[in-house]
Amino acid sequence: MGSYIINGGAALKGSVTVQGSKNSSVAVLIASLITDGITILRDIPDISDVNDCIAILCSLGCTVEKIDKNVLKINTSGIGDGKIPVELTRKMRASSYLIGAMLSRFGKCESIISGGCDFGSRPLDLHILAMEALGAVCLTTESGQTLSAPHSLRGGEIVFPIKTVGATINSMIAAAKAAGTTVIKGAAREPHIRDVADYLNLCGADIRGAGSDTIIVHGVSKLHGCDFTVCPDMIEAGTFITYSLLTGGDITCLNAPVNQLSSFLNVIDQMGAKLITKENSVKVTSSSLSPACVHTAPYPGFPTDLHPQTAVLMASANGISTICETVFKNRFHYLEPLRALGLTATESGCRLTIYGNTSFTGGEVRATDLRGGAALVGAALCAHGKSVINDTVYIERGYSEFVGKLRALGAEITERE
């Protein structure tokens, strides 16, 4: 499962180029299944979630070629009505996008077991609700749920009772080639939703309003390939910003989606960080940090995927901070290994109270999920002594060239299998 060995105490300095968005990459890769021809995707990070998506495409008969660093060439001309191995779909939550893609391409989708980090129940009920609104029929059997579109998908009205990123993306993928017009109400607004819409539109789709609460999709009969660059990864940028502040460093994030980071940067600014932002970069330093109160929320609110990293930052502040987690019920699984390194925090329902002025001490711990693992790295970077972080396979689901980037900034970090 892999391990990182980190000797804490080094101030990280220099610049880091933010990778392409993990969330955009996996969604666009699966969306390519409904196109005909060749797609070129740029700024695709070399991470395990992307590699698993590539394996899924190949299992269905696509050819995927790496033509340059972070550039993929996808040819869907050889696609067949194959079955997707369960061991691939259970590795990541993004495999749920196969529901819309398979229904659009083949008119059916056998049971998908989506995986990803364990934050409690993450059902597919809203995905199924959306597909049924487009004419799909869901059949439950002993082996799971199977969706089919016996009369092909058709436009319809989809109304989500709560914000759902995955089901919003799935709806756009399924509706892109459905006959007629689809109206998606209560849509989520995350940046990678707009990225998927921009990609499909370059392929010939007619999707309007992505990034707002209402998305309108006018179905087209065919989609072609295109040349598309995914947006930068706001979560990686936010992660390295916390590392700069935790280590008393001076990091500039290049290729940073500054506008997407507004809610996070506002909190960092309130905590006393010194920020220099430009259109595509952000530099951050600080001599001391003040406590803060944060409520995670769907975009454009404070991102839940920066909650664990920010919790470590709050532990280094001068006072008591709170985080109210409103997105994932069981997000607090990451706390136990952090407590082993010195974190003092108490939970009450969805509210986390973090006691500051913490001096982290090195130890041996294991990552429990992607962003919790990134938080552990932050604690280890500023800890006294050596830390060993095990099960780093979780971290490598979302961060490309992670160890190399940290070394270039001055971190004393090595990895072992």
Instruction: Answer yes or no: 117 catalytic.
Output: yes
Strands 206-208 and 214-218: antiparallel
Alpha-carbon dihedral 242, 248, 254, 259, rounded to 10 degrees? 50
Contacts of 191 (CB under 8 A, 6+ apart): 21, 24, 211, 231, 234, 257, 260, 299
Q: What angle do CA 11, 15, 20 make, to 5 degrees?
A: 125
Nearest Cα neighbor of 55 from 21, 91, 19 is 91
What torsion, rounded to 10 degrees, do the Cα atoms 167, 310, 410, 42 define? Answer: 20
Residues facing residue 390 across a β-bridge: 3, 366
Tracing tokens 């934050």 back to the chain, one arrives at 119
Q: Residue 385: enclosing H or E segment and its boundaries?
A: none
Distance, in Å, from the CA atom of 376 to the CA atom of 387, rounded to the nearest integer, reads 9
Out of 109, 117, 226, 231, pick the active-site residue.
117
Token duo for residue 265: 């940067």
Residues that are catalytic: 117
